[in-house]
Amino acid sequence: MSRSERLLTLLQVLRRYRQPVRGQTLADELGISIRTLYRDIASLQAQGADIEGEPGLGYVLRPGYMLPPLMFSRDEIEALVLGSRFVAQRTDDQLAHAARDALAKITAVLPQDLRQALQDTAMIVGPSIIGKNAAPTQQPVPLADLREAIRLERVLRISYQDGSGMQTLREIWPFALSFFEGARVLMAWCCLRQSFRHFRTDRILQCDMLESRSPKRRAALLKQWRLENAIPERLF
């Protein structure tokens, strides 16, 4: 591992800890000596990283530090490109625009050889399947409104039409939005059914965000949903 890669890895490790972590713990995780760790901490501090602490007390990286233009691996570059292209093609216009802007910002600070690798990557997102499973072309309620309700943890009152055409009025506690090949699905606790329900967004005919917040936090709902559905955390 080169020194620049080691410094980047050290930053990533520090980001995982919210409380001060002992220098020896960091050194062991990186596979380096404690003296090398102290030198690397000093180097990052000199580059502007807001790392607080000292030997014997531990270290913590304060929020808000922007990564300098260090190295990305080829795999990381391909993951970034593929992810941004997926978002640009399969989500809503607002997120698509944000994905393109984010990739442009990353490209601007990459070294020339990695910038070329990003432009030459062969990672592509295939077109949506044409037919009955194709992604919906009409979206009665903007996805941005649903994402905002999830972010603010607000209760939604929706008019929903099921597959048979029957309409119901429901109050739900939304906690996640999933993007599939054939559908976009809002995941929520349904007060009418008193259980978790999955709502196709193209069947949400109307949506009002209420002033009240969800009685349960979004993270708690997601955790409970995972447990009930035996979904490993790494898959969602």
Same domain? For 57 and 103 the reply is no
Q: Of 33-37, 50-54, 170-174, which range is least confident?
A: 50-54
Same domain? For 147 and 230 the reply is yes
Residue-range definition of the domain harbouring residue 206: 143-235
Number of structural domains found in the chain: 3
Q: Taking residues 209-232, what's their average pLDDT?
A: 88
Q: Taking residues 64-88, what's their average pLDDT?
A: 71
Whether 130 is covered by a domain: the verdict is: no
Q: Taking residues 118-136, what's their average pLDDT?
A: 57
pLDDT of residue 175: 93
- What letter would DSSP give residue 36? H
Is the pLDDT at 33 greater than 90? The verdict is yes
Task: Report the alpha-carbon distance of residue 24 to residue 17 in Å, rounded.
Answer: 14
**DSSP symbols for 89-115:** HHS-HHHHHHHHHHHHHHHHHS-HHHH
Same domain? For 159 and 84 the reply is no
* Phi, psi (rounded to 5 degrees) for 220: -70, -40
CATH number of domain containing 222: 2.30.30
Whether 116 is covered by a domain: the verdict is: yes
Q: Which amino acid is at 26?
A: L
159-183 in b/e form (b: 16+ CB < 10 A) is: bbeeeeeeeeebbbbbbebebeeeb
Whether 24 is covered by a domain: the verdict is: yes
Q: 38: buried, middle or exposed (CB in 10 Å: 19+, 13-18, 0-12)?
A: middle
Same domain? For 32 and 84 the reply is no
Task: Report the alpha-carbon distance of residue 204 to residue 82 in Å, rounded.
Answer: 29
Same domain? For 199 and 230 the reply is yes
Same domain? For 184 and 223 the reply is yes
Same domain? For 157 and 203 the reply is yes
Same domain? For 205 and 230 the reply is yes
Banded pLDDT at 137 (limits 50, 70, 90): low
Same domain? For 14 and 49 the reply is yes
Same domain? For 220 and 177 the reply is yes
Q: Taking residues 7-34, what's their average pLDDT?
A: 88
Banded pLDDT at 1 (limits 50, 70, 90): low
